[in-house]
């Protein structure tokens, strides 16, 4: 479905002819990512085609595009580096706005400890520039190649959030082009006081901007945001050595350490997690399991499978629970020794055992430190072999609650493994990051299956069953569940009305209020 010629010409005038395209090959490259067949539904191998793709270069262009969309009644869907069907619309004829040209780090304020960025700045770029100044901030777990703009990612959690907070919580001032084309500046920015604060004066708009599980492009376009920064105890350049795919931290990084220990039970896992959080010693506090350790230590999937059995035998094979990954960083040797001693005491207190697979391989530990700090644990773990994957049960809550969820969700996952429907990764035992020194966090159960009709059917069933379990108030509805539900409005309403205080109704009201012409595509945000 093509745009009207006068509308296309108007958009072309705004961004320039080199920055807009309706070429079928260009459009098709925006219509497929991953998960369409099971997150959206059977038959969705490709998402509906956009009418055109435009690349705005600044806020002024974004604003002009949005106004043009209102004038010609064109739906738009903005996205940056993100991936997944979330960047697409369920309706043909939508205008895709790829924010790639808005990729500047506008300011790094060392004194005020914030950075102002545009949507296409990625985590690795920002981190590299921050480290030079002895600063750092959180990055989301899907990877350092995803946007560093705090509100955009679906869940906002990542490996270093224990010390540097969930990315959603790091959002400060925000510049936001509303679906009407007006520019809204929130927090201190809105009062002309700079970027340093996300709240007030007046009611906070953070929740409206963020949505229950990210606004998914449904409330307009975030064009700039300030992100909160933290002290970085490491060197100004991430000291990496080796040749791909075997990068590792240089061994002379004496004041950084990485450990993984197992525990006898989920109760002990909770106890350990709470103690580690309260001690405030760790940069990374991550519930983990055999598959993650094996997957990240192998150069190829073939190597992973070899490692997996060895690691599995050292955890689940011994009847133990995959406990905690802990990474420590310190400014001084004294500080490092203190943190290390605290960690060892906690491991002792909970009958923990360090994993021999890692303790026997200092090089693997160094490569993990490099990757956990900068890259992503997801890539090798659940993307490398292709196929489909779904992270179930991944809502954010306390450590005690999440260990309980880890236990019961493992049973569900094992049921699917035993039925031969999803890949046997040992049953998972729950994997996830905890943030702000253990105060909040999540675990998920990643179900993986082949990209086949049977594999996708298995994942759809896995999603359905995990959602049913999450409707039990003991476990809680996941943000991911909600974000993928709008395509099944009845189900969203069923979940929301029962357990989330009619969240869907509120979202619809908000949407109507700020987008009277319904031009900011609400797929994955709100049912209509």
Partner 1 sequence: MELGRLEALREYMERCDRCSKCKFIPMERITSWRFSAGCPSITRYNFHTYSGAGKQTVALSLIDGRNDEISDKLLEIIYHCNMCGSCDMACKYSRDMETFETLQQLRITYVENGYIFPALMPVIDGLRKQDNMMQALKADRGKWAEGLEVKDITREQAEVYFHAGCQYSFDHELWPAVKNAINLLKKAGVDVGIAGKEEACCGGHAYELGFEAELIKYAEHNMGLLKEARVKTLVTPCADGYYAFKVLYDKIGKKLPVEVLHITEYLARLVEEGKLKPTKNLPITVTYHDPCNLGRKGEPYVHWDGVITKKPTEPSLHEPPKEFRRGTYGVYEPPRDILKSIPGLRLVEMERIKEYAWCCGAGGGARDTDPDFAMWTAHERITEAETTGAEAIVTACPWCKRSFIDAINQNGSRLKVYDIVELLQEAT
Minimum gap (Å) between residue 340 Cβ and partner 1: 24
Q: Contact 357/293 with Cβ under 8 angstroms?
A: yes
CA distance 516 to 99: 24
26 lies in the site for partner 1, by CB under 8 A: yes
Contact pattern for partner 1 over residues 405 through 434, marking x by CB under 8 A: ------------x--xxxxx----------
Nearer CB in complex with partner 1: 18/490: 18
Nearer CB in complex with partner 1: 14/396: 14
CA distance 194 to 173: 8
CA distance 446 to 431: 8
Cα angle for residues 162, 234, 148 (degrees, 5° grid): 55
CA distance 68 to 25: 25
Minimum gap (Å) between residue 296 Cβ and partner 1: 9
Among residues 67, 71, 91, 128, which is the contact residue for partner 1, using CB under 8 A? Answer: 128
Among residues 81, 135, 163, 459, which is the contact residue for partner 1, using CB under 8 A? Answer: 81
Q: How many CA atoms lie within 13 A of 369 on its CB side?
A: 28
- Rule CB under 8 A: which of 254-283 touch partner 1? none
How many residues in the shown chain lie near partner 1 by CB under 8 A?
Answer: 79
Q: Contact 366/231 with Cβ under 8 angstroms?
A: no
Stretch that binds partner 1, among 143-151, 172-180, 395-403, 484-492 (CB under 8 A): 143-151
Minimum gap (Å) between residue 25 Cβ and partner 1: 5
Cα angle for residues 481, 377, 232 (degrees, 5° grid): 110
457 lies in the site for partner 1, by CB under 8 A: no
Nearer CB in complex with partner 1: 371/437: 371
Among residues 185, 439, 450, 494, which is the contact residue for partner 1, using CB under 8 A? Answer: 450
Nearer CB in complex with partner 1: 427/438: 427
Cα angle for residues 492, 422, 453 (degrees, 5° grid): 75
> Quick one: CA dihedral 404, 406, 407, 412, positive or negative?
positive
513 lies in the site for partner 1, by CB under 8 A: no
Contact pattern for partner 1 over residues 185 through 214, marking x by CB under 8 A: ------------------------------
Beta strands in 251-404 (DSSP E): 256-263, 284-287, 321-329, 353-354, 388-392
Q: Contact 433/277 with Cβ under 8 angstroms?
A: no
- Rule CB under 8 A: which of 4-23 touch partner 1? 18-19, 21, 23
Minimum gap (Å) between residue 21 Cβ and partner 1: 6
Nearer CB in complex with partner 1: 15/514: 15
CA distance 283 to 372: 10
With 0-12 / 13-18 / 19 or more C-beta atoms within 10 angstroms meaning exposed / middle / buried, residue 26 is middle
Under DSSP, is residue 236 helix (H, G, I), strand (E, B) or coil? coil
- Residue ranges of the alpha helices (H) in 384-521? 399-418, 453-470, 479-483, 489-499, 503-514
Stretch that binds partner 1, among 78-86, 152-160, 485-493, 516-524 (CB under 8 A): 78-86
CA distance 299 to 244: 9
Nearer CB in complex with partner 1: 124/412: 124
DSSP string, 40-101: I-TT-SSPPPPSEEE---SHHHHHHHHHHHHHHT--EEEESS--SGGGS-SSTTPEEEEGGG
Q: What are residue 20's DSSP bridge partners?
A: 54
Stretch that binds partner 1, among 116-124, 176-184, 350-358, 512-520 (CB under 8 A): 116-124
Among residues 2, 13, 29, 193, which is the contact residue for partner 1, using CB under 8 A? Answer: 29
- Rule CB under 8 A: which of 212-231 touch partner 1? none
160 lies in the site for partner 1, by CB under 8 A: no
Among residues 240, 354, 471, 500, which is the contact residue for partner 1, using CB under 8 A? Answer: 240
Contact pattern for partner 1 over residues 462 through 501, marking x by CB under 8 A: ----------------------------------------
- Rule CB under 8 A: which of 278-307 touch partner 1? 299-302, 304-305
Q: Provide the token pair at 191.
A: 């009062």
Minimum gap (Å) between residue 463 Cβ and partner 1: 17
Nearer CB in complex with partner 1: 83/338: 83
121 lies in the site for partner 1, by CB under 8 A: yes
Nearer CB in complex with partner 1: 45/341: 45
Nearer CB in complex with partner 1: 186/445: 445
105 lies in the site for partner 1, by CB under 8 A: yes
CA distance 317 to 315: 5
Q: Contact 480/492 with Cβ under 8 angstroms?
A: no
- Rule CB under 8 A: which of 327-386 touch partner 1? 370-371, 374-376, 379-380, 383-386
Stretch that binds partner 1, among 115-123, 314-322, 480-488, 513-521 (CB under 8 A): 115-123
46 lies in the site for partner 1, by CB under 8 A: yes
CA distance 199 to 226: 12
Residues in the chain, overall count? 528
């Amino acid at each position: 479905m093509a745009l009207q010629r006068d509308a296309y010409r108007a958009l072309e005038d705004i961004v320039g002819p080199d920055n807009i395209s309706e070429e079928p090959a260009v459009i098709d490259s925006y219509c497929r990512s991953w998960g369409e067949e099971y997150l959206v539904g059977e038959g969705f191998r490709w998402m509906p085609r956009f009418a055109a793709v435009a690349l705005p270069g600044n806020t002024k262009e974004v604003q002009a595009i949005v106004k043009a969309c209102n004038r010609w009644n064109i739906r738009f869907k903005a996205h940056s580096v993100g991936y997944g069907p979330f960047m697409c619309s369920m309706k043909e004829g939508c205008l895709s706005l790829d924010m790639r040209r808005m990729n500047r780090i506008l300011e790094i304020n060392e004194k005020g400890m914030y950075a102002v960025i545009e949507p296409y700045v990625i985590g690795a770029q920002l981190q590299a520039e921050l480290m030079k100044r002895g600063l750092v901030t959180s990055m989301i777990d899907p990877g350092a190649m995803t946007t560093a703009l705090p509100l955009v990612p679906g869940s906002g959690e990542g490996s270093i959030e224990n010390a540097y907070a969930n990315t959603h919580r790091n959002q400060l001032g925000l510049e936001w082009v509303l679906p009407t084309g007006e520019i809204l500046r929130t927090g201190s920015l809105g009062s002309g006081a700079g970027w340093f604060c996300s709240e007030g004066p007046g009611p906070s708009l953070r929740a409206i901007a963020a949505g229950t599980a990210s606004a998914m492009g449904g409330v307009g376009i975030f064009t700039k945001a300030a992100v909160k920064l933290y002290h970085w105890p490491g060197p100004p350049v991430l000291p990496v050595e080796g040749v791909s795919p075997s990068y590792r931290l240089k061994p002379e990084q004496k004041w950084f350490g990485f450990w993984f220990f197992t525990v006898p039970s989920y109760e002990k896992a909770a106890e350990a997690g709470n103690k580690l959080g309260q001690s405030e010693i760790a940069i990374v506090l991550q519930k983990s399991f055999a598959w993650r350790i094996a997957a990240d230590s192998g150069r190829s999937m073939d190597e992973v499978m070899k490692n997996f059995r060895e690691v599995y035998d050292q955890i689940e094979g011994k009847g133990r629970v995959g406990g905690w990954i802990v990474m420590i960083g310190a400014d001084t040797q004294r500080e490092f020794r203190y943190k290390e001693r605290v960690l060892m005491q906690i491991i002792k207190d909970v009958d923990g055992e360090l994993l021999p697979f890692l303790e026997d391989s200092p090089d693997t530990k160094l490569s993990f430190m490099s990757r956990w700090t900068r890259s992503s644990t997801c890539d090798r773990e659940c993307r490398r072999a292709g196929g489909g994957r779904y992270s179930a049960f991944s809502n954010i809550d306390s450590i005690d609650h999440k260990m309980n969820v880890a236990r019961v969700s493992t049973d569900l996952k094992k049921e699917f493994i035993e039925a031969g429907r999803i890949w046997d990764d040992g049953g998972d035992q729950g994997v996830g990051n905890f943030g702000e020194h253990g105060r909040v966090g999540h675990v998920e159960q990643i179900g993986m299956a082949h990209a086949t009709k049977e594999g996708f059917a298995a994942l759809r069933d896995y999603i359905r069953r995990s959602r049913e379990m999450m409707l039990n108030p003991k476990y809680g509805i996941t943000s991911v569940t909600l974000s993928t539900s709008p395509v099944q409005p009845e189900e969203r309403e069923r979940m929301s009305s029962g357990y989330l205080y009619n969240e869907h109704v509120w979202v619809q009201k908000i949407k109507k209020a700020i987008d009277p012409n319904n031009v900011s595509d609400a797929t994955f945000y709100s049912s209509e």
